[in-house]
Amino acid sequence: MATQNNDHRDDVIGRANVEDTPELLAYYDELAEYETGALWTVANKIEPWEPQSASVPVVWRYKQLREHVLRSVELVTPEKAGRRVIYLNNPGRRDVSAAVGWIYAGLQVMNPGETATAHRHSASAIRFIMEGEGAYTVVDGHKMTLGHNDFVLTPNGTWHEHAVEADGTPCIWQDGLDIPLVNALEANFFQVHPDLSEPVAYPVDDMTKTWGNPGLTPGGGDWTKGYSPMFKYEWEPTYEALSKYAEATDGSPFDGVMMDYVNPVTNGPVMQTMGASMQLLRPGEHTKAHRHTGSYLYHVAKGSGHSVINGKRYDWEEKDIFCVPSWAWHEHANGSENEDAVLFCLNDLPVMRSLGLYREEALGDNKGNQPVIGA
């Protein structure tokens, strides 16, 4: 089921097309008194021909944002703020704090010696580490050191706290959470840890050491939780895997050389509501346009280039974050003829897939690329 009604006209049989008359308007007022309404007055809005994302494409440029993020260190403490984060606010979604669709994102900053209290919530979270030395996160007693471009999970219901060692440097990472989704489903609980901290109970980085060995699984593992036991996916092996895969594949025409982060127990997504992938665009590569349901937040892990989203060009460079709203046409281009460009992508695909809402479509005309309207 894709887009068989390509003209999408509302003046056809089967769509609501009732003109207001004084009698009808009076009738609508009567219905409103009883907290009801006539479907045909809202039908075309609530049942659009195809997904209508309220979110708009945005590039959050790290070069512009960094100094403002660091300024928050002077203005508030993590104790007072709970977490010191500057969140990404999609101009099309002012009703909720969302970067795109139902995904929240922010840039969290911590100075050496600072800690943020342990807490847990029904929303699931990820971190993508941008800069600094000495940061760590403790998830349900598992301490993880956080290095450049590492991808870290704090799944639904796990206690987590963040800190930077006293001999470290100021650290900044991207937080990504499904807060808007969980709030839309009216299912979000939040708790501060009764002791404000959860003791470290395992060897440092044990979950990655246990579960993160390629092609090898620990015998007798009995992990049955709905999220990956591998709480941290490090950058080096991820980039190495992509580089090796690039030697063996042409890649996807739409996404280049792309690999999903997976739960090593199920081979499925890392968490139930959010998935993530890393994709490599070879030097000079420019992908074909496609669109799909779901919300996508890209983080430029390496290199520079541009994406064309719904006919408009958006340039990006390392550490920039940009979004592709649901059902928006998009294609990506590596701007360099010598270097790889690598994009980390956080998305809500597990939700789309598990609810049977995933759809995908390739752009058929213009040789698979969009005419660019705005630069």
What residues make contact with ligand GTQ under the rule CB under 6 A?
83, 85, 106, 108, 121, 125, 154, 160, 175, 177
CB of 190 to ligand GTQ, least distance (A): 8
Question: What is the CA 319 to chain-centroid distance, rounded?
Answer: 14
Calculate the alpha carbon distances from 370 to 57, 215, 286 in Å: 15, 39, 12
* Contact criterion met (CB below 8 Å) for 92 and 53: yes
| Nearer to ligand GTQ (CB atom), residue 31 or residue 76 | 76
* Contact criterion met (CB below 8 Å) for 271 and 153: yes
Mark residue 248 as left, alpha or beta (left: phi above 0; alpha: psi -120 to 50; beta: remaining).
Answer: alpha
d(CA 322, CA 301): 12
d(CA 28, CA 32): 6
Our CA angle for 62, 64, 70, nearest 5°, is: 80
**DSSP-derived 3-state class of residue 351:** helix
CB of 217 to ligand GTQ, least distance (A): 29
Largest CA distance in the chain: 75
| Nearer to ligand GTQ (CB atom), residue 59 or residue 125 | 125
CB of 70 to ligand GTQ, least distance (A): 16
| Nearer to ligand GTQ (CB atom), residue 172 or residue 177 | 177
CB of 60 to ligand GTQ, least distance (A): 14
| Nearer to ligand GTQ (CB atom), residue 150 or residue 175 | 175
CA dihedral 245, 231, 174, 280 (to 10 degrees): 0
CB of 6 to ligand GTQ, least distance (A): 40
Q: Which helix (H) or strand (E) holds 116?
A: strand 115-121
CB of 106 to ligand GTQ, least distance (A): 4
CB of 119 to ligand GTQ, least distance (A): 7
| Nearer to ligand GTQ (CB atom), residue 85 or residue 301 | 85
Task: Enter the DSSP assignment of 117.
Answer: E
CB of 121 to ligand GTQ, least distance (A): 6
| Nearer to ligand GTQ (CB atom), residue 116 or residue 258 | 116
CB of 83 to ligand GTQ, least distance (A): 5
Residue sitting closest to ligand GTQ (CB): 175
| Nearer to ligand GTQ (CB atom), residue 106 or residue 170 | 106
Our CA angle for 283, 285, 287, nearest 5°, is: 155
First to last CA, the chain: 33
| Nearer to ligand GTQ (CB atom), residue 78 or residue 212 | 78
CB within 8 A of 174, min separation 6: which ones?
105, 106, 107, 108, 127, 128, 130, 299, 321
| Nearer to ligand GTQ (CB atom), residue 103 or residue 309 | 103
